[in-house]
A and B are shown apart, each in its own frame.
Chain A
């Protein structure tokens, strides 16, 4: 039975439970609801909660755990000696899964009967061709042990699903029956329901933790896999990024890190002065109408999706820069410094434009939180407005502004679309901003898109890169938040 049906049945049970619970509570006091401990609807909620929540929780856990358990059991069936040269356990397992899925599809679409599938013999039938007819493409011919494992996989997952359906339904009915039997006038339904709801609220709040744990664990495991296949010294200390899918790649993060930092630096050089001066003007000089007009308009820049900036970099800014700095005699300056539209400068400038509102609105908040009395004092001593800003407001706001710049830097480092489209794909150490370079995020995208093989270091390196990126941005964010918070406390 498909999961969607199970969920529909659960929903029906829940609704039924609500109605039945409420009716029983009313009946227990012969319709005189004043004699109930709680409002009648609480008795209904109580039954509904007990019918739904435990069953749903078990369903979710089961769906999570079943594939893992079956994988572990089935992969034990494939002895190491049977794994072909140049392949490995996880590749064979994905073959097994694909064959199992194909057989399942064959049965459900009616192309083969269940008995026919059970009687399949890898040596006698060309399973690859038969499955190919149904649109299940297999990479290689099915070997007997793979078929055997696939049959076991199919058997286990169908028993598993059967058991799951049974357990979930029994649990839902048991919860319903138990809570229904408890429904009478003395029962403190509201307290029970409220405790249940509170638990759900706490669970919802812990999803934030789960996400972080998920991020860290998913990347950590694959990173460990990566380092078992690839020397960590090359990753952290090597000088070359040259993935080679035939093996023997040099995968060093340093050239990528250099590209990332260089592009971020250019972005900050563009964004920080413009953003800062804009913030100073908006908070210290601008009249109310100007502020009300300019501030939201600037913030539109922050709301534009990064894919738009990426396209802008690739198709507008890049060619423009080539016209200025490249194309030899035909170019504007007659130089030939730039050959392609993708370059560090292209990505950096566009990213800078994206960061302007980010820097300006954060700095605006921070400048505004400098107490007015400090400005009044400085103006009272005869300083001009700009002297007040430079010598009183800025030094007071400096820690906060540093925090804002750090946040902007963390955004720049983690930015993906602009660099994917505007920065290029060549990993190297170079100081020339007109050359194309590559970044951590670009490499993550290119290593993880297309055909990926989760057993090769060339794919797994993306997880190590991701983890590095995560740690880097997390560090910057924590530092920035710490500085900003420290600064806020100073003036509150």
Chain B
């Protein structure tokens, strides 16, 4: 038994013969057991680090991004003065439309000053600077309302205006009196006014649906920026990817798995597919730029082009998973079909394919989820750098009109100078991840429910 601990390579004389009982550990055994413990610990630490990173990542995203779902609003009663909005008083829509946002600005200013006076707040902020508290889009919001409801002119209507991003940041703790020392957009006195208005209930935070449904906004108005339009862009891209990559991918896999005889052509195809799966995504972007935009003159920034590029990227993933699920269908199914007189094509399309369908679907969803989060190729085909402000009004314009996509929109916000956009970017990531988690969960459920083990 003492030989157990001896190193067979060393000569017997070097290791002192073991004395004592098996129940007490010698120094060497202790050392080896300690090494064993250490080794196991390294493994645990490694897994711990990995999981810790996941936790840090998720908590960062959630803690920084949830703010985007709350927005600060200012409630104001605005008197829609007839003398300013409709001088002739005949409620002619064309005439009302002639009043630009400049005409509306005094109304908002007056309303704010009146509100402050009405609450009995004593402030050193002059009335003309009070509208710094409001988003620059507030006036446009007012104008849109009046154009839609011209009969309200002359009345006093209660509005909820978006607060400016500085005020919003102040309520969320992003902006403080120290951080605005060099800020021209807002002053400490204005923040005092905000404090008073919060006390009166005129300024408060509430759920911000327009972040989920709304459009992107310009550099000046981070408080108004939303994900909605880029979500539609992503949706159209995914539609293109699904419509193209599923049939092509399944057809290619059926050929390679069921019909192809071993030849140089099939070898070339197989090598190609496994390599394409590992080509950096940016290379697909270059391909898209060179072929779809420079050569075919498809429009820049169009979801159609994005979808085509992502299709080429997703195809290898779908082909690989489809082949795996075709392979999992036992040959006895094919043999039985052939045995009762089906042709090979019928055996595949009537029997093998339906049995492999859950696996194919799972692979497709996972491929789509990958494509949904892909950013790099979209940068090259121009899906960043402009403001996706209009939701498409038809399928054709959804495919061909310039739009953004969710990850591209997030990147766009991350690039902008105003830190208020960072919160939007994190908030956008939450939406993106909700989509990805949903898709992957559906894929897992599909696999659990329908996949047959043979």
A387 in contact with B32 (CB, 8 Å): yes
Interface positions of B from 210 to 254, Cβ below 8 Å from A: 247-249, 251-252, 254
Complex formed: what's the CA distance from A407 to B44 in Å? 25
Residue from the list B295, B312, B433 in contact with A308, Cβ < 8 A: B433
B286 in contact with A441 (CB, 8 Å): no
B384 in contact with A463 (CB, 8 Å): no
A444 in contact with B278 (CB, 8 Å): no
Complex formed: what's the CA distance from A456 to B287 in Å? 19
* Residues of the B chain whose Cβ atoms lie less than 8 Å from the Cβ of A386: 35-36, 38-40
Interface positions of A from 462 to 483, Cβ below 8 Å from B: 462-463, 466, 469-470, 473-474, 477-478, 481
B286 in contact with A211 (CB, 8 Å): no
Complex formed: what's the CA distance from A357 to B385 in Å? 33
Complex formed: what's the CA distance from A488 to B422 in Å? 47
Question: Which of B51-59, B98-106, B167-175 participates in binding chain A?
Answer: B51-59
- Interface residue tally on B, bucketed by range: 35 or more
Which residues of B pack against A, CB within 8 Å?
4-5, 32-33, 35-36, 38-40, 42-47, 49-51, 53-54, 57, 60-61, 64, 247-249, 251-252, 254-256, 259-260, 266, 268-269, 272-276, 278-287, 289-291, 294-297, 312, 315-316, 319, 343-345, 369, 372-376, 379-380, 382, 384-385, 396, 407, 410-411, 414, 422, 425-426, 429, 432-433, 436, 440
A303 in contact with B440 (CB, 8 Å): yes
B384 in contact with A311 (CB, 8 Å): no
- CB nearest to B247 among chain A residues: A204
* Residues of the A chain whose Cβ atoms lie less than 8 Å from the Cβ of B51: 294, 297-298
A281 in contact with B47 (CB, 8 Å): yes
Question: Which of A130-138, A244-252, A312-320 participates in binding chain B?
Answer: A312-320
B255 in contact with A202 (CB, 8 Å): yes
Q: Beyond A356-B53, A386-B36, A448-B285, list 12 extra A-B contacts (CB 8 Å).
A: A201-B254, A202-B255, A205-B251, A209-B269, A214-B291, A219-B286, A274-B50, A307-B375, A353-B57, A414-B280, A448-B380, A477-B275
A294 in contact with B47 (CB, 8 Å): yes
* Residues of the B chain whose Cβ atoms lie less than 8 Å from the Cβ of A218: 286-287, 290-291, 295
B436 in contact with A274 (CB, 8 Å): no
A194 in contact with B376 (CB, 8 Å): no
Interface positions of A from 240 to 279, Cβ below 8 Å from B: 273-278
Complex formed: what's the CA distance from A284 to B47 in Å? 13
- Interface residue tally on A, bucketed by range: 35 or more
Interface membership of chain A positions 439-469, coded 1 if the CB is closer than 8 angstroms to chain B and 0 otherwise: 0010011001110001000000011001001
Main secondary structure of the interface of A (DSSP, over half): helix
A205 in contact with B255 (CB, 8 Å): yes
Known A201-B259, A360-B50; contact A207-B248, beta-carbon cutoff 8 A: yes
A208 in contact with B316 (CB, 8 Å): yes
CB distance from B303 to the nearest CB of A (A): 16
Known A306-B376, A356-B50; contact A67-B282, beta-carbon cutoff 8 A: no
Complex formed: what's the CA distance from A274 to B43 in Å? 8
Known A206-B269, A209-B268; contact A219-B290, beta-carbon cutoff 8 A: yes
Interface membership of chain A positions 330-345, coded 1 if the CB is closer than 8 angstroms to chain B and 0 otherwise: 0000000000000000
* Residues of the B chain whose Cβ atoms lie less than 8 Å from the Cβ of A4: 396
Complex formed: what's the CA distance from A413 to B280 in Å? 8
Complex formed: what's the CA distance from A205 to B436 in Å? 28
Known A282-B47, A417-B411, A470-B283; contact A449-B275, beta-carbon cutoff 8 A: no
A-B contacts, 24 of them at CB < 8 A, read A194-B343, A198-B345, A200-B251, A201-B252, A201-B255, A205-B260, A273-B46, A277-B42, A298-B47, A301-B50, A307-B429, A311-B426, A356-B49, A386-B38, A414-B280, A417-B411, A441-B280, A441-B282, A445-B380, A448-B285, A448-B286, A449-B379, A463-B286, A473-B278
